[in-house]
Amino acid sequence: MFIDRAKIRAKAGDGGRGCVAFRREKGVPHGGPSGGDGGRGGSIILVSDRHMRTLVDFQFRPEFKAKRGQLGMGSQCHGRDAEDIVAKVPPGTVVRDAETGAVLADLREDGQSVVAAGGGRGGRGNMNFATSTRQAPRWAEPGGRGEERMVELELRLLADVGLVGLPNAGKSLLLSKVSAAHPEVAAYPFTTKEPNLGVVALGPGESFVVADLPGLIEGAHRGAGLGHEFLRHVSRTRVIVHVVDVGWEKAAKDLAKDYDTIVAELRLHDPDLLRRPLIVAGNKMDMPGAKKRFEELARHARKRGAKTVLPVSALTGDGIGPLLRAMEKSVEGAPVPELKLGEAAEPILRPRGVAGVKIVLDQRGRFIVRSKEAERAAAAAKTGTKKGIRALQDELGRLGVNEALEAAGANEGDAVVIGDLELEYQPD
């Protein structure tokens, strides 16, 4: 089963809380704070693995949740970091944030990885807060919260050559002749319901990958037929082989229409596809009258700019050799295409104001502060006392949060949310 789309929930582990402890040792006249730091929470990491072919595993496991870091301990002992969760994906997988649409990574090569959700930092123990004037701090930081996000995975096949054409043009049979792949072949349209990959081995160290893409029809770029789900796979291919059926009795205008339909769909999906090396293969040359129809196709294709038009018969194998040599030559000189992924920015409704601090206005009219340092300060603040609130205000001012709120248009009395803490904005 070929699955090329999946959505998962990635929840990284929270960091462990720092420890509040003091030394109590015989022979040590002056003790002191000795609380250690908490451990880092586990992260969710996606790694491309060449042995993976589809995203089917994520259909059965749509959620990944890492453990939290260990709490800090006394005697300056740090908590243990939680283990990361590593999930394998096929090379060619595009990773996006499901909410914002922002591209997190394009994992094209074997072994490439991306942190889908980062684990929270461990909180600092009270030993970190001792100073000459504050020798017995009785507080520690809580662990940072692990990231949580919905992640969209989209597989775009990595192939050197892509076979495109109308349904029943003979692409699957052609793939079986040029490689060791065994796709389903039948004499009716839409036999192929999922892409197939085959490796063409020409000799020691000489090989390339061919993808048979399901048949396209007119309007595929708008979602018609089966091909619209697989048009994106063409964007990865370096060379395009357009397979045209010349085996059945067709007028010259019908052959031209068949050819132009696929070219139009490629152009409407991505105009850059037409700038890649193109080979036109007139298939089913074993049929009566195919030679004349191939000549008509060749004249039309060359008028449209095609430089290489070859006759083949996937059934008998005639013409396969010249076609393979043309593929090999085209692949050698073709650059690896740069995939146009785009990037959707986070929906910030007000200006940032300060680098590193994001201000988002939610549906309730509250100003949401996005800053790891500010969230950490809010979690550690003693908001039950005036002194603690004042210390938090000073820290937020130092981090630039107050300046960012002012630039975002916050007014006195507006609700401000930092982590789990909701405050009332009071400008200085």
Q: Which two tokens stand for residue 337?
A: 């295409």
Number of C-alpha atoms within 13 angstroms, CB side, residue 89?
36
Task: Report the C-alpha gap between 94 and 96 in whole angstroms.
Answer: 7
pLDDT in tens, 28-61: 666 788 889 999 999 999 998 888 877 878 878 8
Residue with the larger pLDDT of the pair 384 and 11: 11
**358-363 contacts at long range (C-beta below 8 A, 24 or more positions apart):** 358/404, 359/404, 359/405, 359/407, 359/408, 359/410, 361/408, 362/417
Of the two residues 417 and 364, the one the predictor is more confident about is 417
Closest CA to 372 of 399, 394, 349, 398: 399
Q: Please, are residues 68 and 41 in contact by the beta-carbon 8 Å criterion? A: yes
In this structure, which CATH number among 2.70.210.12, 1.10.3720.10, 3.90.1300.10, 3.40.50.720 belongs to the domain 1-155?
2.70.210.12
Residue-wise pLDDT tens digits, 243-286: 888 887 777 677 888 888 888 888 887 787 888 888 898 888 88
- The model's confidence at residue 1, banded by pLDDT at 50, 70 and 90, is very low
Structure-token match 């006195």, residue found = 412
Superfamily for the 358-424 domain = GTP-binding protein OBG, C-terminal domain (3.30.300.350)
> For residue 203, what pLDDT is reported?
67
The domain segmentation of the chain, as residue ranges, is 1-155, 161-333, 358-424
Going by DSSP bridges, is the β-strand pair 367-370/358-361 parallel, antiparallel, or unpaired? antiparallel
Q: Residues of the chain with pLDDT > 90: what percent? A: 9
Per-residue pLDDT tens over the stretch 194-228:
556 666 777 665 677 777 776 555 544 444 444 44
Q: What is the pLDDT of residues 153-199, one digit of tens each?
A: 887 766 778 888 887 777 778 887 777 555 444 443 444 445 566 66
Contact 240, 233 (CB under 8 A): no
- What pTM value is reported for the model? 0.58
CATH topology (fold) of 161-333: Rossmann fold (3.40.50)
User: What pLDDT, in 10s, does the model give residues 241-253?
Assistant: 888 888 877 776 7
